[in-house]
Structure 1
Amino acid sequence: MTTKALEHLTGIITGDSHKSQYRSGPQLVGFFNDFGEGDLYGQGFPSRAQFARGKLDKFNGTDTMKRIVSAAFDFIGEDGFNAEDAAYQFNRVLSRDGFRLVMKDDYGWMEGDREVRINPRFEVIPLGPAVLAPTSLVAISYEAVTEQVRKANQKIESGDYSGAITNAYTLVEHLLKLLLTETATAFKETEGDIRALYKALQPSLNLDPAKLEEPLKPIVGGFQSLIGGLYEMANKGSDRHARRFNPARHHAKLAVNAAFALCDFLVESRDYQKARAASAPNKEAAA
């Protein structure tokens, strides 16, 4: 763990960062004694921060360190503190070491608009390779999309809900750019707004709701709202930007399933248009 991450963690454990509960000297001794230490609090005790940092330096690089980090953030639901926001801030430095904190629970349910989580806790997991690298979706096919969705679902199972939302968004963005390139439609390669990318693609795949037959208009037109929703969710609940809300499991599943439905439809539409063009090149195909 880097020096910056250790400094950040020291502030969380002591409470000096004001993001977690304050721990007195005796409480700090008890905290680290839970991990096999045998210290006593008394005369000659160093400063609280010095004591905590010394213990972190001792355990740095060991398997015990993961348990210490998890215990340091064990204040979910404590009045006056936001453990999820504190974990998000810590992840900004911890990710440089190849790890991140994710929230897990045994199970949960919704009571109205309130989410009930059983045994919520933070665990340290290694950062795997990005689910969607720039060249990982090399073919526009159902199989290629399904593989990316499978990997996004693996993040959901690991408890990395914001990461799964990011991957869902990136999948849609990359597929739209592949389709725009294939259809020779002009677009900005640096464009990251899937709403703009989809709008540019619509004419090429005959997806303009105004030009479709009546039974198709509502559902195809609904994709515009779906894309807008995915855009907002990724901006506010993924790890692409500073999060404005902490997504739960069902939020991540919604994003991944929505991305799959859209991508699957786009792939099918692209195949359909190609087949129609091949059989009747002079006749405009319908969606």
Structure 2
Amino acid sequence: MKISQRSIKALGKIVTGDEGLSPYRSGPQLVDLFNEYGANDVYGKGFPSRWMYAEESLRAMNGTDSLAAVVCHVFDPREFMDTDKDLEPAIDFVNKRLAYDGFNVVIERGKAKIRDTEGSAVQFSSPYGDGATDAHEFIDEQIEKSEQKILDGDFDGAITNARSLLEGIMRDIEIALDADAPKKYDGNMVKLYQRVQRGLNLEPSRPDIDNPLKQVLSGLSSIIGGVAAIRNRMSDAHVRSYKPSKHHAVLVVNAVKTLANFLYDTQEYQSLKAK
């Protein structure tokens, strides 16, 4: 994928968040982003301005698969969760420039993809892949980030990360299962799980499952309700009435890991069974 300098400048504003249409990324966050796709930079004294670093990094990747991978990462719907930014205006801002290069960004089945003007997908190597094994590796990687926040004493951040991971996974599953799924996630985690639960045939009310399993499936609903409630009570957007302790954060992160892996396993099992 090779784009013009004008498109690089526009994309750089979305990567940094300086256009006001996408989440803000600090210098260290920008370094982490580009290092994930082949760069080997270190943030420290003498580091250039954020916008300059972003543009230079995009230019270095221009014409390679890495550029497409970074674009898809930046426009991943999960990057916009728990922020006050909407994905569509950001995509529209960049697509107006990319159109002159013969490309556009689209969201398909909950994932960002790049297509040329003829509708063909631009191929690139995703860091997570598309298989079940890759999905579990992705979950483990995100959980490790939450665990690091716990070690750093950022218990709020660990719970926020875990919730965002679970929301993103459920949203991906919902879109994969239902072509008529809502185009925009409204932030209601409990209702999202209820839709995924129906799609995966995990409803405890099923008459063909034993009572012990019904109790386990009911427990999954309780986990979702608890994670959603904890995050809402400690959010800055609400009257703060709860500050999590370390063991609470550990409990939430571990519960999310178990549930996320179970949901992906269930989706994979049903997909294989349907073939």
If you compute each CA radius of gyration, which structure gives the higher value, 1 or 2? 1
What is the TM-score when the length of structure 2 is the normalising length?
0.50
What is the TM-score when the length of structure 1 is the normalising length?
0.48
More helix as a share of residues: 2
